[in-house]
Structure 1
Amino acid sequence: MSTMDKIENVKQQYSNDKNLSVRTKLHLKHSTNKQGFVPWLFDKYEFPENCRILELGCGNGGQWQDQIENLPKCCSLTLSDFSKGMVDIVRTNYSKCNNISFQQIDIQNITFPDETFDIIIANHMLYHIPDLSKALSEVKRVLKTDGKFYSTTNGNGGMRPFLHNALKHFNHDGDTKAFTQELSFNLQNGYKILNGYFSAVKRMDFEDSLSITETQDLVDWIKPTISIASYSEKELDGLFDYFEDIRKEDGAINIEKECGLFISIK
């Protein structure tokens, strides 16, 4: 089991939306693709009228902000997360929406009958799952025939090797496994994995990069990720100065991103 899918680490990281908000802020503020990842996703989603939608690992429900009113007539949305803290947050944020329900769910044991949902969404969360095979079997079970499963993930390139090289530069003895181990579900292996459960799978890449002009934003992003890899904050001494030198020399800290979407049909 990698550091990304150790259950206690995941619980700690996502007990509330503090770390998620920091990560989201970096991409919203410094991404070069100004369309934005969430608007791009909603261009790809297809929600028929009267459909039932389940989001697994919804986090703070940020992708639905300003989108609920755009759902087709008579659609219902269930927002769920493994973390009770996240479920409490989305319940507070969307309690006035009468077409949304809220539930704490472990994707490895989805508490709904067979063929309940027309659409299931799992964004940037499948690589956290200890038993991915069991999780995808559960998704397939509760998805209706011809229903669609939308899942996003990162690739093994881009930001992860960039950070690995940076951390090794100023701390040769540091543990950088969080940035060297392949994600259990990634852009490179996702098609093959999903193809074992669904009748059709399509991969779509989101072209983007980061051009970071405020060094502290990157350091703030790294801190919770480093904690997954058992780094202490003391070991981060010098990190700001290292990146600040890059920013001053190049005008920005430029990092390629690998991110995309799989659309799977049962």
Structure 2
Amino acid sequence: MRKMNRVENVTEQYKNDDNLSKRIKLHSKHSINKQGWYPWLFEHYEFENGYRILELGCGNGNQWQGRIDKLPTSCTLILSDFSEGMVKMVWKKYSCHKNMLSQKIDIQNIPFPDNCYDVVIANHMLYHVSDLSKAISEVHRVLRSDGKFYASTNGNGGMRTYLHNVRKFINPNTTALSDGFSFSLQNGTELLSKYFCDVQSYNFEDSLHITETQDLIDWMKSTITISNYSESDFDKLYDYFENIRIKQGAIDIPKELGLFVSKK
């Protein structure tokens, strides 16, 4: 099992939003696409009056900042996460909204009856799940007929491949990042089509233009519990990337990310 899928590693990684915030910071400050990830996602979401909406793996709930009040009339939003710390955080942030609830939920065992949600959302979290088939089947079970499942993820190229190649250059014996995501842009359609009759995919065109090397190192350090990085790597990595920044003015890194929209 990958470190990214082990329960103990994921639990440590997301016990609070410290690591997540460092990764969000890198993308917020240095992404080329100025539309932004969250506005792009909301262009694809479809909500109607009275919808019951469940987000699984909501993290710190940042995508809902300033948007809960804009949901259509009588919508109910449940923000859930496997981490108790994240659940408490989103409750503290959004409990003033009467149409929002927060709850600790494991996507592999969703504690709701069949056919009770119009929309389920899982952003950048399915590759952390140990039993992916069970998770997707649970999402399918709780969705109503014609309900939609929105699942975003990364590709196995982009930033992942770029950083792996850097590690291989610095240390030819490294195995860091050699395994692809268990749920990726490359295999998502195949995995989702086992449960959903209609699966559409959308790519978010973006890349990183990093002008502060430490932001990248902080991002890499934030993934230690779910990746193969070690503290001994970071001095060499900093020197490598800082040399690029000085010579080229910035560190340019490709990104691969997108969204699957699956209809029951």
TM-score (norm 1): 0.97
Give the aligned partner of residue 66 of structure 2: 66
Give the aligned partner of residue 191 of structure 1: 189
CA deviations on 1:174-221 (whole Å, 9 max, x unpaired) are: 441xx2201110001000110110110000000000000000000000
Q: Name the stretch that deviates more: 223-232 or 180-189.
A: 223-232
Deviation at 1:230, TM superposition (A): 4.4
Asked if 2 retains the 8 angstrom alpha-carbon contact of 1:210 and 1:253, the reply is yes
Q: What pairs with 1:1-266 in structure 2 (closer than 5 Å)? A: 1-176=1-176, 179-266=177-264
State the SS of the aligned residue for 1:73.
Answer: coil
Q: Distance in 2 between matches of 1:213 and 1:106?
A: 38
Amino acid at match of 1:46: E
Deviation at 1:170, TM superposition (A): 2.2
State the identity as a percent: 60
Structure 1: gaps (5+ residues) = none
Aligned residue pairs, count: 264
Amino acid at match of 2:232: K
CA deviations on 1:80-110 (whole Å, 9 max, x unpaired) are: 0000010010010111111000110000000
Q: Distance in 2 between matches of 1:133 and 1:127?
A: 11
Structure 2: gaps (5+ residues) = none
Asked if 2 retains the 8 angstrom alpha-carbon contact of 1:160 and 1:180, the reply is no
Deviation at 1:232, TM superposition (A): 2.9
Asked if 1 retains the 8 angstrom alpha-carbon contact of 2:20 and 2:222, the reply is no
Asked if 2 retains the 8 angstrom alpha-carbon contact of 1:59 and 1:86, the reply is yes
Q: How well do the aligned residues superpose, as a CA RMSD in angstroms?
A: 1.0
Amino acid at match of 1:195: S
Q: Distance in 1 between matches of 2:93 and 2:2?
A: 33
Q: Distance in 1 between matches of 2:230 and 2:200?
A: 40
Q: Distance in 2 between matches of 1:226 and 1:59?
A: 18
Q: Distance in 2 between matches of 1:125 and 1:264?
A: 16
